[in-house]
Amino acid sequence: MRFSILFLLLFSIELAAQKPDGTLPVELVYFQGYFADGKVILFWGTATEVNNYGFEVERGNRQQAVGNNAWEKVGFVFGSGNSNSPKSYYYEDSTDLQQAIYHYRLKQIDNDGAFKYSDSIEISTITKLEREPQPLFNFSLEQNFPNPFNPTTVISWQLAVGSSVTLKVFDVLGSEVATLVDEEQPSGNYSIVFDSTNNPQLTTNSLPSGVYLYQLRAGNFVETKKLVITK
């Protein structure tokens, strides 16, 4: 499955300071998004959660994203309540998307109704043909993010020219554990979400914690990087 990524914004946010009773807040460690195949893909992760009912996903476009009246709710994802371990979340938005630049944010809601907003991220749904000419691409493989991760991470790469592309994951002994991409791709930027659990691309049901290598081959270009799974 191929994703043509246009924007990928990565950052770490803490939704709230420590509560007066000493408990930990809902700590958002990443919030990411990109546009692919007519949908905006959003995913985020928390380090800890206390009293977390869930997350409303809100959207606004660049011209409107000033003030609370500019935001609309497009979805909801249930939280994990109370948790001291990392949790990952995922949402797809395909509702009434136009050729535009959108802003997305999360409204984290407690079980008692209290809520806080994350910072917003900006994602373009303008297709490549409608954008201004871009500079020539290079061959490159980016470091996955987040890293370490559990259970999902994003791997991105760039192709200078159209190539026969494979993207594979290996354990430290050199045994292949997943084939993420095996296809012809034109020049451009690409990204894929790698799920280390319940993934049909894996050679096993789930990958244990540890160090792994991921390798991109595109024509004569070969590059390998390291990723770490924590549980």
Q: Which residue has the higher pLDDT, 128 or 144?
A: 144
Tokens 């690409």 — which residue? 190
Topology annotation, domain 140-229 = Immunoglobulin-like (2.60.40)
Q: How far apart are CA 49 and CA 81, in angstroms?
A: 6
Tokens 């020219």 — which residue? 161
Q: Where in the chain is the domain with CATH 2.60.40.10?
A: 28-128
Q: In the chain, pLDDT over 90 holds for what percent of residues?
A: 55
pLDDT digits 0-9 by tens, 166-221:
999 999 999 999 999 999 999 888 999 999 986 677 777 789 999 999 999 999 99
Q: In CATH, what is the architecture of 28-128?
A: Sandwich (2.60)
Residue 231 pLDDT level (bands cut at 50, 70, 90)? confident
Q: How far apart are CA 175 and CA 155, in angstroms?
A: 19
Q: In the chain, pLDDT over 70 holds for what percent of residues?
A: 81
Q: What is the pTM of this model?
A: 0.50
Q: Where in the chain is the domain with CATH 2.60.40.1930?
A: 140-229
Tokens of 26: 């809902």
Q: Measure the CA dihedral 59/65/70/75, to 10°.
A: 10
Is residue 23 exposed (0-12), middle (13-18) or buried (19+ Cβ within 10 Å)?
A: exposed
Query: What's the pLDDT score for residue 111?
Result: 93
Q: Measure the CA dihedral 146/148/149/153, to 10°.
A: 40
